């Protein structure tokens, strides 16, 4: 693209604000404003709210329609939720104006899994108006889905995928530490997970994207979660966890294809977790294994994934897009 990409930010939580800081450093982008429901932010300059240089960012608006009346962005970074149906509703006014949306919503990684009707409708709207929408991040969005897909391209045959991610959540932002149940009684955390109010979102979507890319028709998906309990007192900037309370989660998801090919993904995300790493093993010819010591940095890499996807998404055809639809290269062609 010969001109800078005009970008607005939807949602000014920790990830949204960090996205703006990265956008401000990249000459490919021009920040034209932001949207947030916090009345303390609305009407203020983006620079003031997020600590940017005074000449950057425009103003914070209460809705996308308010922002569009002043600026017409080419793209929006959406960091405001985990559920596909809710995120689609928030993003509909954007795609109806031909805007490209990159979202951190975990269920948008493969929205056909939980919201097939809304996905079909949104895809039709995108194609009619020239909009695009994509869900991405680090996990889901890379470590346990896109990375195994890329690794599979050097295998003659793949019969199974095993992915393991271990995260030291003490180094992560407050909303994530809360999501993994920090400080809760184990039964309370299990109850919240059963109600869809806690735990790692998007895990089944990672499996679905993998199966889609490998062209495997999977059977029923099994997902399990168990709290990881503190054996000693654990303190972070945000939580004080006593022995016996929850300090994190161990979550798995698995399924077998109609031809016997198996996907099993395993996530441990907990405070004070030792030996973080990411590991992908392919049951393939040749056998392949990749390990990232320390693991991919969750928050910083999520921001990079969202920002780097913008120009790549704009080079794809309108529609609801998957990470496997995008060019691999980060730079512009």
Same domain, 49 and 114: yes
Q: In this structure, what DSSP letter does residue 245 have?
A: S
Does some domain include residue 331?
Answer: no
Tell me the C-alpha distance between 57 and 49, whole Å. 10
Mean pLDDT of the chain: 95
Higher pLDDT pick, 299 / 93: 93
Q: What is the pLDDT of residues 313-325, one digit of tens each?
A: 999 999 999 999 9
Distances (CA, A) of 195 to 175, 188, 199, 251, 286: 18, 11, 10, 15, 42
Same domain, 224 and 125: no
Q: What is the pLDDT of residue 299?
A: 82
Tell me the C-alpha distance between 309 and 291, whole Å. 24
Tell me the C-alpha distance between 283 and 297, whole Å. 26
Question: Residue 1 — very low, low, confident or very high, per pLDDT cuts 50/70/90?
Answer: very low
Same domain, 82 and 130: yes
Tell me the C-alpha distance between 117 and 114, whole Å. 9
Does some domain include residue 84?
Answer: yes
Question: What residues make up the domain containing 66?
Answer: 5-137+300-325
Q: How many domains does the chain have?
A: 2
Same domain, 200 and 258: yes
Collapsed DSSP state (helix, strand, coil) of residue 268: strand
Question: Residue 331 — very low, low, confident or very high, per pLDDT cuts 50/70/90?
Answer: low
Collapsed DSSP state (helix, strand, coil) of residue 192: helix
Does some domain include residue 330?
Answer: no
For the segment 22-29, the average pLDDT, to the nearest whole number, is 95
For the segment 242-269, the average pLDDT, to the nearest whole number, is 97
Does some domain include residue 315?
Answer: yes
Same domain, 127 and 242: no
Tell me the C-alpha distance between 52 and 147, whole Å. 33
pLDDT surpassing 70 at residue 332: no
Question: Residue 333 — very low, low, confident or very high, per pLDDT cuts 50/70/90?
Answer: very low
Q: What is the pLDDT of residues 168-212, one digit of tens each?
A: 999 888 988 999 999 999 999 999 999 988 889 999 999 999 999
């Amino acid at each position: 693209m010969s001109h800078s990409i005009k970008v607005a930010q939807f949602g000014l939580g920790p990830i949204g604000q960090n996205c703006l800081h990265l956008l401000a450093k990249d000459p490919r982008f021009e920040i034209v404003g932001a949207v947030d429901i916090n009345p303390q932010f609305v009407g203020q300059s983006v620079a003031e709210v997020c600590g940017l240089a005074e000449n950057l960012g425009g103003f914070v608006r209460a809705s996308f329609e308010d922002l569009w009346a002043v600026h017409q962005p080419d793209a929006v970074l959406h960091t405001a939720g985990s559920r596909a149906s809710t995120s689609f509703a928030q993003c509909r006014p954007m795609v109806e104006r031909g805007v490209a949306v990159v979202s951190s919503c975990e269920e948008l990684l493969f929205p056909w899994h939980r919201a097939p009707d809304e996905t079909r409708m949104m895809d039709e709207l995108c194609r009619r108006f020239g909009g695009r929408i994509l869900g991405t991040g680090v996990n889901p969005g890379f470590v346990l889905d896109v990375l195994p897909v890329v690794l599979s391209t050097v295998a003659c045959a793949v019969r199974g995928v095993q992915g393991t991610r271990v995260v030291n959540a003490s180094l992560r932002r407050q909303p994530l530490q809360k999501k993994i149940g920090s400080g809760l009684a184990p039964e309370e955390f299990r109850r919240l997970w059963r109600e869809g109010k806690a735990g790692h979102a998007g895990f089944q979507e990672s499996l679905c994207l993998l199966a889609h890319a490998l062209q495997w028709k999977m059977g029923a998906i099994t997902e399990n979660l168990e709290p990881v309990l503190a054996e000693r007192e654990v303190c972070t900037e945000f939580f004080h966890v006593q022995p016996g309370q929850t300090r994190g989660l161990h979550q798995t998801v698995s399924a077998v294809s109609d031809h016997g090919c198996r996907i099993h993904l395993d996530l441990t995300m907990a405070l004070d977790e030792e030996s973080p790493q990411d590991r992908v093993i392919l049951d393939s010819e040749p056998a392949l294994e990749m390990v990232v010591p320390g693991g991919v940095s969750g928050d910083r890499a999520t921001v990079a994934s969202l920002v780097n996807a913008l120009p790549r998404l704009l080079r794809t055809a309108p529609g609801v897009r998957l990470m496997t639809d995008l060019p691999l290269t980060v730079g512009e062609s």
